[in-house]
Amino acid sequence: MKRKIFRPTIIYLVLIVGLVVFALPYVYMIIAATQNNATILGEKINFTPGPYFMKNLKEIQEKYNYVKVLWNSAFITIVGTILSTFITTLAGYVMAKYRFKGSNLIFNLVMISRMVPGFAVLIPTFYILSKVGLTNTYAGVIIPGLASTTSVFMMRQYAQKFPTELMEAARIDGAGEWTIFLKIAMPVLTPSIITTALLTFMGYWNSYLMPLVILSDSSKFTIPLVIQNMTQNSYDPLNYGALMAILATSVVPVVLIYMWLQTKFKSNGIDSAIK
């Protein structure tokens, strides 16, 4: 009997310790964004909000033109996510629902290419982009991420559950294949499409290496590039409060939106990836 009362307590204790460990950096971003270096680097642990939030925001706006940086990140992310989700949804759907000459070859190539490390692909991609004049452009950051093999694989898994009978019924009614996709498959697959789009969105928003090598003009910089500039800057001392103000306004809102949509659609793609 004693064992039964004891065990759930231990389980919750372990889970709550995990919760604190994983949530702490996010909470810390918000609190430290309102503090100055004297408090953040003080001898004592201080989790009380300070009065410096607006001052920190003003500093990142003046030094890095933060509003423009947010716009750059938003533009690249939104355009990239819409284009990538559309083409990978189409491809995943075709791979799940059609057999044609070369369909196996395409599937195998996509799967094999997932084994090649990103860096191997990045170097020639950069070479090609610089030859066609796309370095230092938004397009140069967006294009290399469009053909996401992860998204195709996920959409293929989801589309396999889409009933073929619906397609056959629509064909009897005289619907073309594109109409079937746009009018029947897309609405049915919407939750899956949003799940895939969400991961693509986070991928573009968090992307670091691609903008780092493609963008050289600081007026086009995205959020991760500004963060790296702050931490690697050896000219003036790092204002940790200002750094945290960037994180509190660029990481926390996106993470909250993710949490909200995630609970709404209840799947994160991993479940389908291993089944």
Specify the DSSP class assigned to residue 135.
T
Q: Does 232 bind other proteins (CB under 8 A)?
A: yes
**Two structure tokens written together for 9:** 């307590």
**Closest CB to other proteins among 103 and 218?**
103
Nearest to 78 by CA among 254, 219, 260, 255: 254
Say whether residue 242 binds other proteins (CB under 8 A). Answer: no
Contact region with other proteins (CB under 8 A), list: 9-17, 64-72, 74-82, 157-165: 9-17
Residues 37-56 that bind other proteins (CB under 8 A): 40-45
CA dihedral 179, 183, 186, 188 (to 10 degrees): -130
Q: From CA 227, how far away is CA 240, in angstroms rounded?
A: 11
Q: Which residues ranging from 18 to 37 are in contact with other proteins (CB under 8 A)?
A: 18-19, 21-23, 25-26, 28-29, 32
Dig out the tokens for 95 from the structure: 């791979």
Least separation in angstroms between CB 71 and other proteins: 17
Report d(CA 87, CA 143) in Å as an integer.
12
Q: Of the candidates 67, 38, 66, which has an alpha carbon nearest to the alpha carbon of residue 51?
A: 38
Stretch that binds other proteins, among 51-59, 139-147, 156-164, 189-197 (CB under 8 A): 139-147
Taking the complex as a whole, how short is the minimal distance between the CB of residue 61 and other proteins, in angstroms?
18
Q: Which of 16-24, 58-66, 158-166, 187-195 is the region at the interface with other proteins (rule: CB under 8 A)? A: 16-24
Least distance in angstroms from the C-beta of 40 to other proteins: 7
Proportion of the chain in helix, strand, coil states, percent, rounded to 5 = 75, 0, 25
Residues 140-199 that bind other proteins (CB under 8 A): 143-144, 146-147, 149, 152, 176-178, 181, 199
- Amino acid of residue 213: V
Nearer to other proteins, 8 or 51 (CB): 8
The minimum distance between CB 87 and other proteins, in angstroms, equals 4
Residues in region 79-118 near other proteins by CB under 8 A: 86-88, 90-91, 93-94, 98, 100-101, 103, 106, 109-110, 113, 115-118
CA 66 to chain centroid, in Å, comes to: 20
Structure token digits, residue 210: 């691609």
Query: What's the distance, CA 15 to chain centroid?
Result: 26
Cβ proximity of 41 and 248 under 8 Å: no
Q: Which of residues 199-218 bind other proteins (CB under 8 A)?
A: 199, 202, 205-206, 208-209, 213
CB of 266 vs other proteins, minimal distance in Å: 8
